[in-house]
Structure 1
Amino acid sequence: MTVHGADAVDAAQSAGRTQLVVGRSDIVTPLARERARDTGIEIVVGAAAPAPRPASGPATGPVSTRTDPTPSTGPAGRLTSLRAFMPGEGPPPPPLFPPSPALYRRGAPLPAHVRIDTRAVGGPGSTPTSGRVRRVTVVGAGNVGMIAAMRLAESAAIDEVVLVDIAGQRAAGIALDLSHSAPILGFSTRIRGVRTLAEAGPSDYVVITAGKARTPGMTRSDLVGVNAGIVGSLVSDAVAVSPDAVFVIVTNPVDEMTEHAWRTSGLPTDRVIGMAGVLDSSRFEALAAQVAGVHPRELTALALGSHGDEMVIPLSQATVAGRSVADRLGSGTVDALVDRARNSGAEVVGLLESGSAFFAPGLSAARMVLAMVNQTGELLTATVSARGQYGIDGGYVGLPVRLDRSGLAEIVEVDLTAAELDDLQTAARHIGDRVGALDGAGAR
């Protein structure tokens, strides 16, 4: 697999070529497609015949990178063709599988106004497309918060990451330990550990991971009462310090805690978002990749609904190397994988015997923040408040979304089967019932 960036388009133009030929398993970055439109270079999948330029030189009209139709997406919004066409050239060729399912998971196709250089997604030495943000606060210096803070610090997209924890000097100790890894990971982000949100100072993003973790035999719902009090108090304090921040809620049960956080905060729903779908999607993709014997990036799946028993993984949208997961692995195997993904959190808790999952949850929370900071435009799933999409009006539930600097940018509607849609709507109703019970109990 080869990643073709804008430099590949520039090289083709410098060499006098009119086409950039890519393989079916290759990745073509959004910036490369945009550069192709600007320069008149065709991006074609597979072998291509030479195509001379018009005698007058580069095209005078706009060059559009088109799919079939414009824009056309297959299951789960996947691009069906990456060829660029000159105005008036005629109809596009038959659909082709994209040069990587990863393009879909990173948000292709993108709105025309979005300009993205994928070098800005994070990592040592990278530079965000829209400039660094000043501060991200992670509330809770437990394992999840620690992993999230580490990933945010090494992204090179944030000036300062602050860990907040009331447990003595734990946050300060974790922050110091993380700062010692700066030469190893190659970042210059400042990391602090404090005991209160007031000490943290105004932040652009606040990630709330604090709360009681599950122990063997507990369900996420068992945590509702105790964690509602913790989350409500933290959100109130955080809003007082950072009234313009975007909040990412990680504390379980995340669906109910996200809505509770929103009600407590008084903020617009676009700025209070729950982390669950990124984690659940990753769990299913990782498990399915192991069974299929492929790289996890060859898997594409969405985990919708609730972070629990009503998790919905629409198999109509799940693919492996461009092929339906159900067709590739068989319906019985896929059903077992869905069930295991749904119960993966409990599986980890049982194996650990003390504590709960933290690597994947912490990285998932950081990924959401970085998608906003870097405005990647990638398609993620998150716990958000629906506005009529999927027949759901009001209430928080896991849905496909795009994020931007200000939080929720768009709820994306993908084609679901009637049964999948019914399962999603059922999940939303059950979450609403549990939130209603929480409100009835007077949680604060």
Structure 2
Amino acid sequence: MRRAKISIIGAGNVGATTAHWCAAAELGDIVLVDIPQTEDMPKGKALDLMQSSPVMGFDSNIVGTTSYDDTSGSDVVVITAGIPRKPGMSRDDLLSTNAKIMASVCEQIKKTSQHAVVIVVSNPLDAMVQKALQVTGFEPSRVLGQAGVLDTARYRTFLAMELGVSVEDVSALLMGGHGDTMVPIPSCTSVGGIPVQQLIEPARLAEIVDRTRKGGAEIVSLLKTGSAYYAPAAATAQMVEAVVRDKKRLIPCAAYCDKEYGVGGYYVGVPVVLGSSGVEKIIELTLTNEEKTAFQKSVDAVKELVATMAKLS
């Protein structure tokens, strides 16, 4: 039985760290790709990571390259390529440049890996995954975006910090677009099975939600140069694992919603069952009126972002 083939497009911090997490978990053989202008950089990172395998005890073949020919026949393609967000730069500022990069990457993917599941990580996420679908022409179930796992992880972290409990005991769900309009679902948030509203006052909970929404920007402001990569890469690796091991994980991600939630043909963060064929099922929750209003606001923001991208292209 052959190992899964995982190609990661973009060998920057997020891409290389995703390769690290995937290799350490022995999820498959990995191809780390970057643009020709980087010359031998992806080869150096791949070799360095390979040399850690005897120490850490994992078996994964890791190749660094600037040629998409090496990605041929991939089971999963992760796209992290794009310019990073800098201090003072909104996700929308990235739109024009990263849309062109995404289109270029996806033209190559559809030539080399026609049956792959594609996981988009590049920002602005909800627009980038829409562009990936348009360019690849793949089934919507095989093109999805990593956002919900990261946003939920940040939320769970902040809740655990607030309560002084293990992150393992915090279960949460966030929906909607990846950014300032993401929607917490209180009825799906608990700590050790206890509804979070019984443990944290509404005003304080609202502050934690706001910090979660601005979680990426907070790290950008602290780093000064660059953006978050450990948590985004870990979240991506969890999605890769769900696909290559057909784990049927019920997790939030940016999935193509048509009739679901009345979205009408856009990518938005929703809970899904993720397995070997990609998004195998979208879970439709019964939302409260307040949650519905917030979710619709988030969907409208995504639609506006996609419309802006269409005008720029």
For this structure pair, what is the TM-score category when the shorter chain's length is used for normalisation?
over 0.9
Measure how far apart 1:439 and its partner are.
Answer: 1.0
Residues 111-158 of structure 1: CA deviation (Å, up to 9, x unaligned): xxxxxxxxxxxxxxxxxxxx6643110001111001110111122231
- C-alpha RMSD of the superposition: 1.2
Corresponding residue for 2:24?
Answer: 154
Corresponding residue for 2:133?
Answer: 262
Q: Greater helix percent: which structure?
A: 2
Matched, 1:350 2:221: yes
* 2:32 aligned residue (163, 171, 182): 163
C-alpha distance 416-132 of structure 1, shift in aligned 2 (>3 A): farther
8 Å CA contact 1:132, 1:373 repeated in 2: no
SS in 2 for 1:203: coil
8 Å CA contact 1:136, 1:203 repeated in 2: yes
Residues 78-110 of structure 1: CA deviation (Å, up to 9, x unaligned): xxxxxxxxxxxxxxxxxxxxxxxxxxxxxxxxx
Q: How many residues align?
A: 311
TM-score by length of 2: 0.97
8 Å CA contact 2:31, 2:62 repeated in 1: yes
Paired-residue identity, %: 38
Amino acid at match of 2:310: D
Moved over 6 A (4+): none
Corresponding residue for 2:230?
Answer: 359
8 Å CA contact 1:285, 1:301 repeated in 2: yes
8 Å CA contact 1:133, 1:373 repeated in 2: no
Aligned-partner Cα distance in 2 for 1:400–1:372: 15
Corresponding residue for 2:13?
Answer: 143
Measure how far apart 1:323 and its partner are.
Answer: 1.3
Amino acid at match of 1:415: T
SS in 2 for 1:214: coil
Aligned-partner Cα distance in 2 for 1:256–1:387: 16
Measure how far apart 1:193 and its partner are.
Answer: 0.1
Aligned-partner Cα distance in 2 for 1:284–1:172: 35
TM-score by length of 1: 0.69
SS in 2 for 1:398: strand
Where does structure 1 lack aligned partners over 5 or more consecutive residues? 1-130
Aligned-partner Cα distance in 1 for 2:59–2:251: 28
SS in 1 for 2:158: helix
8 Å CA contact 2:75, 2:244 repeated in 1: no
Matched, 1:302 2:154: no
Aligned-partner Cα distance in 1 for 2:186–2:156: 12
Aligned-partner Cα distance in 1 for 2:22–2:249: 18
Matched, 1:431 2:302: yes
8 Å CA contact 1:151, 1:366 repeated in 2: yes
Corresponding residue for 2:184?
Answer: 313
8 Å CA contact 1:133, 1:204 repeated in 2: no
Where does structure 2 lack aligned partners over 5 or more consecutive residues? none
Corresponding residue for 1:383?
Answer: 254
* 1:324-339 → structure 2 map (5 Å cutoff): 324-339=195-210
For the pair shown, the structure with the greater C-alpha radius of gyration is 1
